Amino acid sequence: MGTLRRELLDHVIVLGERRLLHLVRQHASYYNNDRPHMSLDGDAPVTHEVEPRELGKVVALPRD
C-alpha distance across the termini of the chain, in Å: 23
Q: What is the mean pLDDT of residues 33-47?
A: 78
Tens of pLDDT, residue by residue over 44-53, are 788 777 778 7
- Round the average pLDDT of the chain to a whole number and report it: 84
Compute and round to an integer the Cα radius of gyration of the chain: 15
pTM over 0.95: no
Q: 11 pLDDT band (50/70/90 cuts)?
A: very high
